[in-house]
Amino acid sequence: MKDSNRPSKNALYYYVAGIIIILIINTIITPMFFKPHVQEVTYTNFLKMVDEGKASKVEINQNRIALLCKDSDGKENIYVTGRVDDPELVNRLVKANVEFSQVVPREESPIAKFFNNWIFPFLLFIVIGQLIMRFLGPKLGGGGNMMSFGKSNAKVYIEAQTGKTFKDVAGQDEAKEALQEIVSFLHNPAKYNDIGATMPKGVLLVGPPGTGKTLLAKAVAGEAKVPFFSISGSEFIEMFVGMGAARVRDLFKQAQEKAPCIVFIDEIDAIGKKRDNGSFGSNDEREQTLNQLLSEMDGFDGSKGVIILAATNRPEVLDKALLRPGRFDRRVPVELPDLQGREAILKVHSHDVRMSPNVDFHTIALATSGASGAELANIVNEAALRAVRMGRREVIQEDLEESVEVVIAGAQRKGAVISPEEKKIIAYHEIGHALVAARQTESAPVHKITIIPRTSGALGYTMQVDTQEKVLMTKEELFNKIVTLTGGRSAEEVVFSKVTSGASNDIEQATKLARAMITRFGMTDEFDMVALETVNNAYLSGDTSLACAPETAARIDSAVFEVVKEAHEEARRILMSNREKLDELAAYLLKKETITGDEFMAILNGRDPEGPVTVDAEVVASEDAGQSAPQAG
C-alpha cells in the first residue's frame, strides 16, 4: 500500500521548478522593470552638480554618496560616486539648500540573529534529511522511515490473500502428509496438549529448486486459515551490523502478536551457514543475525501456535545449532516428482488452460523424467503459447510434445544455414545414436529423431522415452547408455572415416557416467565397493570431488578410459553390422528432417514407414526400460 503522506515525484519536480522561476524573476526580470537608472560619476562632477543647484537630495553612505537630481524634462536620475574625506561637503550642501542625510547601520535583533544562525539551518537540515530518507529509505530497508531500520520486511498474507491449499500442490504427497500434522495442530492444539505432545517449533523444507517448497508453506497457512509471514533470508542481511538481528527480533514479536500463525523463511542458508573461527571470510552481520535467530527460536513458546517453516536447497551448509532438536525439529524432503506426481502436476497446471480432450498427460510425464514442478508448469504454458501462435483455440498433444523439446533443447532455429555435407553428417550422427539404442536389449525406446537445429546449440538430437518409471539402473543399462552416447561419433567414423566436433556433449556425458560407475556406484572389480567421490550441492549443481590419493585418481582415469573405449568399440561393431539400415535410415531422415520412433522402427524392421502402424511383439519385448534422455548431436 502506498504511503499517502509521501510526496509524489511529480510534485517535487513542480516545487523545484517553481523555486527556480521565482529566483529568476527576483534576480533578473524584476530589476529590469523596477530598478531606477543609476550612473556613476566622479566626485568633481558630483560637487559641480551640487554647486549648480541640480541636486535635490543626497544620501551619504559609509562607502559611497548617492545624488538625486532632475533633468529639464522632470525625469529623476540617480548618480553615485565614491565617498571622499571632504570637511567642506556639509557646508556646500547647506549652502545649496540640498536635503541630505547619512544612512545609520541597522543592528540585527539578537532573536533574529539566533534564529538565522541556529534554528533555520537545523530546520533546513531536517527537511533535506526527510526528503532523502523518503527516497532512499525503501532501498535501505526502512520503508521510508528514518527510525525503522530494525523493522522486519516480512510480507503478511491473510487467508484471502494466500489462496493456496493442498489441492494446489501435486506430486508431493509425502510432504503434504508430513505437514498435515502442523495444520491439525493449528486447528485444534488442545488435542495435542491433552496428551502432552508438543508440535515442532521449526520445520525445514529441503529440496531442489522449483519443487514447490514456497507453495507448500503457503498451502499450510491456507489450510490452517492463519496469518502467513513470508521473508527471504537475504532480507535480514543489511549494510549496518546489528540490523539483521533487530529484524529477527521484530519478526518474532509480530508473529507472537498474531499467533497462531506461520513464519516462512525462504533461502534460510543465506543467514544459517556454518559458523567458523577463521578470520578470513567471516561475516559479523550474518553471524549476529544467526545467533539472534537461534536465541529467538529458543525463547518463544511453540504451544501458542507460532510455527517456523524454512526452505533451502543447500542443507549441507546449515549450522548444526540450527538443526538440533528444539529449533528445526523436523526435516521434510521436497524431492523431484515421480511419474505419477508429474502427471498430477501437469493436470493441476492445465486447469486454467483450454485443453483438447485427447491430450495424454501420461505420455508427457514419461518424456519429462527429472523435471521439477516449475519446469512442468513452464511446459504447459509453452504449449498454450504455441497453440495461440498456430491459431488454435485449445492445446493439443502436439503442442505439449513440442513444448517438452523447447524446454529440453530450446526453440527451433529455422533460419540456420547448414551446408548439405554437414547436414548429411548430422543425419548419420543422430541415426547412429538411435540405431545403437535400438539394437541393444537394455535401452529405452527411441521416441523421436530430428536434425533441425535448436537454440541451445544442438544441431539435432535423438529422444528416448521410457515405457515405465525406473528408479534403479543396472550395470548393463548404464554401460549400454554409454554405448548409445558413443553411437553418434561411431557413425561418423564408419561412414565418413573422420570425426567432427558435434560429439562434444556426448563425450562429456559418457565420461561423466563412466566415472560415476567407478567412483560412486562401485561397478568395477578393481575398486569394489569403495566410495572414491563425494557429491557437493546434491540439490543444485551436483558437482563431485574425488576423495582419494593421487595414485588412486590416476587408476580411476585409466578405468574410465577402458569403459568408454569398450563402449565405443561396441557401438562401432553394431553400426558396421547394420550398415545398410544405417544408410537407409539416414537417407529417410535427410528427406523428412524429423521422424518419429514408429517410423524409425518401421524402417529398421523392413516395413513401410508411411504405412499403417503395427505392433511387433518381439520388438516391444526387446525395448526394456532405461532412463529417458535426448542424445544431443
pLDDT in tens, 206-220: 999 988 898 898 888
Cell 558437482 sits at which residue?
A: 543
Q: Which of 430, 442, 570, 623 is the catalytic position?
A: 430
* Burial of residue 205, with CB atoms counted within 10 A of its CB: 0-12 exposed, 13-18 middle, 19 or more buried: buried
User: Over 60: is that where the pLDDT of 147 sits?
Assistant: no
The average pLDDT across 127-133 equals 72
Confidence of residue 326 (pLDDT cuts 50, 70, 90): confident
Once rounded to an integer, what is the mean pLDDT over residues 381-409?
A: 90
Find out whether 329 and 201 touch, Cβ atoms under 8 Å.
yes
pLDDT at position 254 over 90: no
The rounded Cα 71 to chain-centroid distance in angstroms is 82
Q: How confident is the model at residue 269 (pLDDT cuts 50, 70, 90)?
A: confident
Q: How many CB atoms lie within 10 A of CB 369?
A: 19
Query: What's the chain's length in residues?
Result: 633
- The mean pLDDT value for 120-141 works out to 66
Task: State the alpha helices, DSSP H only, in 454-537.
Answer: 475-485, 487-496, 504-519
Average pLDDT of the segment spanning 106-110: 65
Cell of 432: 547412429
Q: Which residues contact 603 (CB under 8 A, 6 or more apart)?
A: 581, 584, 585, 588, 609
Q: What percent of the chain has pLDDT over 90?
A: 26
pLDDT at residue 21 greater than cutoff 80? no
Residue 407 has pLDDT above 60, yes or no: yes
Q: Is the pLDDT of residue 77 over 80?
A: no
- Most trustworthy range by pLDDT among 180-184, 195-199, 341-345: 341-345
Structural contact between residues 54 and 72, judged by C-beta atoms closer than 8 angstroms: no
> Alpha carbon 573 to chain centroid distance?
48
Question: How far is residue 386's CA from residue 368's CA, in Å, rounded to a whole number?
Answer: 18
State phi, psi for 328 to the nearest 5 degrees: -95, 90
Residue in 201, 265, 205 with CA at minimum distance from that of residue 237:
265
Return d(Cα 627, Cα 480) in angstroms, integer.
11
What SS3 class is residue 459? coil
Q: Select, from the ranges 29-33, 248-252, 488-492, 525-529, the one with the highest average predicted confidence (pLDDT).
A: 488-492
- DSSP E strand boundaries for 500-575: 533-535, 544-546
pLDDT at 107 over 70: no
Compare 206 and 38 and report the one with higher pLDDT: 206
Instruction: Give me 87's grid cell.
Output: 570637511
pTM score, two decimals?
A: 0.68
Please tell me which residue, 428 or 29, carries the higher pLDDT value.
428
- The grid coordinates of residue 96 equal 545649496
> For 514-544, b where at least 16 C-beta lie within 10 A, e where not — what string?
bbbbbbebebbeebeeeebbeeeeebeeeeb
Contact 379, 400 (CB under 8 A): yes
Most confidently modeled range among 84-88, 439-443, 535-539:
439-443
Mean local confidence (pLDDT), 99-117:
69
Torsions phi, psi for 100 (to 5 deg)? -140, 160
Cα–Cα distance for residue pair 395/381, rounded to 1 Å: 10
What pLDDT, on the 0 to 100 scale, is given for residue 44? 83
E strands present in 390-467: 446-450, 461-464
- What pLDDT does 251 receive? 83
Q: What is the DSSP letter of 316?
A: G
Question: 301-305, 325-329, 373-377, 588-592: lowest mean pLDDT where?
Answer: 301-305
Q: What is the pLDDT confidence band of residue 291, given thresholds at 50, 70 and 90?
A: confident
Q: β-strands 446-450, 629-632: how paired?
A: unpaired
pLDDT class for 433, splitting at 50, 70, 90? very high
Confidence class of residue 376 from pLDDT cuts 50, 70 and 90? Answer: very high
Q: What per-residue confidence (pLDDT) applies to 521?
A: 92
* Full strand arrangement of the beta sheet holding 55-60: 38-40, 76-82, 64-70, 55-60, 99-102
Q: What pLDDT is attached to residue 386?
A: 92
Residue 131 has pLDDT above 80, yes or no: no
Percentage, residues of the chain above pLDDT 70? 80
- The pLDDT tens digits for 553-583 are 999 999 999 999 999 999 999 999 999 999 9
Distances (CA, A) of 456 to 407, 426, 439, 452, 633: 10, 16, 29, 12, 11
Element (H or E) spanning 521, and its range?
none
Q: Strands, DSSP E only, in 222-270? A: 228-232, 261-266
9 compared with 304, residue with greater pLDDT = 304
User: What confidence category does residue 303 fall into, taking pLDDT thresholds of 50, 70 and 90?
Assistant: low
Over residues 536-550, mean pLDDT? 81
| Mean per-residue pLDDT, 158-167 | 69
In whole angstroms, how far apart are CA 609 and each of 579, 587, 596? Answer: 19, 13, 10
Burial bucket for residue 389 (CB in 10 Å: 0-12, 13-18, 19+):
exposed
Distance CA 501, CA 503 (A): 6
pLDDT higher than 50, residue 4: no
Residue that wins the pLDDT comparison between 84 and 497 = 497
Whole-number Cα distances in Å, 262 to 156, 222, 345: 10, 10, 25
Lowest mean per-residue pLDDT among 118-127, 131-140, 355-364, 552-561? 131-140
pLDDT at 542 over 80: no
The verdict on whether 430 is a catalytic residue reads: yes
Q: What is the pLDDT of residue 482?
A: 95
Pull the grid cell for residue 125: 537540515
d(CA 406, CA 429): 21
Is the confidence at residue 144, as pLDDT, over 70?
A: no
Instruction: Give SS3 for 41.
Output: coil
- The alpha carbon of residue 410 and the mean position of all alpha carbons in its chain are separated, in whole angstroms, by 20
State the burial class of residue 152 (Cβ atoms within 10 Å of its Cβ: 0-12, 13-18, 19+): buried
How much is the pLDDT for 427?
A: 93
Cis peptide before 420 (omega within 30 of 0): no
The answer to which of 267-276, 407-416, 525-534 has the lowest mean pLDDT is 407-416
Residue 173 has pLDDT above 90, yes or no: no
- Is the per-residue pLDDT at 231 higher than 50? yes
| Out of 102-116, 228-242, 259-273, 441-455, least confident range | 102-116
Cell numbers found for residue 589: 531422415
Strand residues in 359-490 grouped as ranges (E): 446-450, 461-464
Residue 240 has pLDDT above 60, yes or no: no
Task: Please name the amino acid found at residue 56.
Answer: S
Q: Which three cell numbers stand for residue 454?
A: 535448436
Q: Cα angle at 621 between 620 and 623, to 5 degrees?
A: 65
Specify the pairing of strand 38-40 against strand 76-82.
parallel
What band does 157 get if pLDDT is binned at 50, 70 and 90? low
Whether residue 141 is predicted with pLDDT greater than 70 in this model: the reply is no
- Angle (CA) 302 304 309, round 5°: 50
Reduced DSSP (H G I as helix, E B as strand, rest coil) percent helix, strand, coil of the chain, to 5: 50, 15, 35
CA distance 304 to 300: 9
What is the C-alpha separation between 500 and 488, in angstroms, rounded?
A: 10
Q: How confident is the model at residue 45 (pLDDT cuts 50, 70, 90)?
A: confident
Average pLDDT over the chain reads 80
Q: Tell me which of 527 and 26 has the higher pLDDT.
A: 527
C-alpha cell at 400: 505439449
* Per-residue model confidence as pLDDT tens digits over 571-623: 999 999 999 999 999 999 999 888 998 999 999 988 887 765 444 433 333 33
**What is the rounded distance in angstroms from the CA atom of residue 181 to the CA atom of residue 193?**
14
Spell out the residues 6+ positions from residue 478 whose beta carbon is closer than 8 angstroms to its own: 513, 517, 521, 523
Asked if pLDDT for residue 140 goes beyond 90, the answer is no
Average pLDDT rounded to a whole number, residues 177-183: 86
